[in-house]
Amino acid sequence: MAATSHTRKDSGVLAETDRIRNDAAYFELSICGRHRVYPRLPSQTIVISTGAGANQWGAWTEIVPANVVPFTFNVIGLLIEQLSATGIYHIQVGDCASGSTPGANDVQGEIRFRGTAPIARVTELIPFGCREIAAGRRVMGRAMNDSGGDNIEVSVVIRRYIELSAEVERWPVFPW
């Protein structure tokens, strides 16, 4: 039987319905999906140091080691657990292969916040938007602040990445 405009229209509606259903499942997992905190052990701390002077980046510090997360994932939040000084902080999070540091296009995102030492609300999660990170990649962070020479204790919260049916292309560099 030859296809009619009616049957072509129905197949298009069914394809669109499947895409919407898949995307709805993604959003459900975004909100209700399993999350994991790194570092995993309460006795472990990740200390990111700012540069020696004001507005200078500190060195990249490993947060999630390479080959620990066996699936594609996102960093969805940061926990600032302690600061060595009150001030304005700027943190970048990036991913890379084992033995390297993130390049300019490997920076997944950044946050800026005003923090007081000691931290008043350690349990407050700072939401963090991030593209997918391939399984086995390591996650690193670096920071700067308005005074320099300070430390930040952090943890990251990750979530398993579920691909959207209509993925947005990654920009090769920041467009601004």
Does residue 167 lie in a domain region?
no
| pLDDT value of position 162 | 72
Per the structure, how many domains does the chain have?
Answer: 2
Average pLDDT of the residues of the chain: 82
Same domain for 10 and 56: no
Q: Which of 17-31, 32-46, 50-64, 99-113 has the lowest mean pLDDT?
A: 17-31
Q: Do the beta carbons of residue 103 and residue 92 sit within 8 Å?
A: no
d(C-alpha 103, C-alpha 95), whole Å? 9
pLDDT interval class at 121 (50, 70, 90): low
* Confidence check: pLDDT of 84 > 60: yes
| pLDDT value of position 51 | 97
Query: Which helix (H) or strand (E) element contains residue 83?
Result: strand 73-83
Same domain for 9 and 79: no
Give the global pTM.
0.75
Does residue 80 lie in a domain region?
yes
Helix (H, G, I), strand (E, B) or coil at 164: coil
Domain hosting 107: range is 36-160
Q: Do the beta carbons of residue 139 and residue 133 sit within 8 Å?
A: yes
